[in-house]
Amino acid sequence: MLLSDSPTLVEAVELVRRVRMWPFVRVTIEADSAALHSGVRDTFIARLDLRTGGLTAYVAGDQGRPLVAAEPLARSTRNGVRIEVVDAESRRAGERLIRWRIDLERFGVQFREASP
79-106 per-position pLDDT tens digit: 999 999 999 999 999 999 999 999 988 8
**Cross-strand bridge partners of residue 84:** 54
Statement: the pTM of the whole predicted model exceeds 0.75:
yes
- Give the Cα-Cα-Cα angle 5, 11, 13 (nearest 5 degrees): 85
pLDDT reported for residue 113: 52
Positive or negative: CA dihedral 80, 70, 116, 109? positive
pLDDT tens-digit series, residues 16-63 = 999 999 998 999 998 899 999 998 889 999 999 999 999 999 998 788
pLDDT tens-digit series, residues 68-83 = 999 999 999 999 999 9
pLDDT reported for residue 108: 63
87 exposure class (CB count in 10 Å sphere: 0-12, 13-18, 19+): middle
Would you list the DSSP string of the chain?
--GGG-HHHHHHHHHHHHHTTSTTEEEEEETTEEEEEETTTTEEEEEEETTT-EEEEE-STTTTHHHHHH-TT-EE-SSEEEEE--SHHHHHHHHHHHHHHHHHHHHHHHHHHH--
